Amino acid sequence: MPAVVDLDKCDGCKGRKEKGTSMCVEECPVEAITLVEEPDPSSAPNGREQHAVINAEECTDCEVCVDVCEQGAISMTETE
């Protein structure tokens, strides 16, 4: 059951962390989360400059990212 990111909620920790890092990236014990730069932040949800992406194959379902995400943008989901 890997973690997934709700792109409508994720703002890449804008205003809480410096650009290029986020709480979930810093706290992930297996480095399964990366940040992706938005090509046009003005048209992105939340005016985000970056957002998190979780590699489902590397995710160990520890839920640390769910706990540290202040936006509530990360949750666990069943895979089919």
Kindly tell me if the per-residue pLDDT of 79 is higher than 60.
no
Question: What's the domain count of the chain?
Answer: 1
Per residue in 28-37, pLDDT tens? 999 999 999 8
Question: Residue 28 is part of which domain span?
Answer: 3-76
| Residue 22, pLDDT above cutoff 70 | yes
CATH assignment of the domain containing 8: 3.30.70.3270
**Who's near 2: CB < 8 A, 6+ residues apart?**
54, 56, 59, 61, 76, 77, 79
Rounded to an integer, the average pLDDT of 13-17 is 87
- Report whether 56 contacts 5 (CB < 8 A): no
